[in-house]
Amino acid sequence: MTAGPRRRVGVLALQGDFREHLAVLTGLGAEAVPVRRARELAEIDGLVVPGGESTVMDKLSRAFGLREPLRDRIADGLPVYGTCAGLIMLSDRVLDALPDQRTLGGLDVTVRRNAFGNQLDSFETELDVPVLGAPPVRAAFIRAPIVEEVGPAASVLAALDDGRVVAVQQGALLGTSFHPEITGETRFHRHFLGLL
């Protein structure tokens, strides 16, 4: 029996912690490549949109001519995993967005930016994520968004003890409020690779 083709996964490398995602994906056996140009979207089987600053990522995606091609690929079914700011970028609706802020859309959710406060309010916690099994996921929240509403097309994968939703999935689109890539947690990336 021969192994299947190695998956080529892009990481949007305009801003944010894209290097950490490239390292995790490579460690899991994927061919991980940075994506900065629209033409590179045709060469990937999936995409990770990293944490960072969603407003800056939005502006840079427009400046680099990536926004519309990205929206088109997502609408055509490209598997995408967004962490923190990446979750905001994938959300259909954003509360407290800047007046000119736009998203890529695709996830039928409403998110609130910086829902936990500023950098000083960052924290780590353990999350039960049934789709990933035991043990709990170690999750780092850094100026993280929260999912305020989950539309009928999306499903909740994880919530905090108080019920606030922090991980969602809709088909081949995956979003987390937190950063698994900085706590040594690889199961969300492995789950994402299984969607390709």
C-alpha 153/C-alpha 155 separation (Å) is 7
Residues in the chain: 196
Residue 181 annotated to the active site = yes
Helices (H), ranges, the chain: 18-27, 54-63, 67-75, 85-90, 187-193
Residue 21 annotated to the active site = no
**Annotated catalytic residue, options 84, 124, 185, 189:** 84
**Annotated catalytic residue, options 21, 179, 185, 189:** 179
User: DSSP assignment of 71-87, as one string?
Assistant: HHHHHTT--EEEETHHH
**Annotated catalytic residue, options 21, 124, 181, 185:** 181
Residue 179 annotated to the active site = yes
C-alpha 91/C-alpha 15 separation (Å) is 18
Residues with a known catalytic role: 84, 179, 181
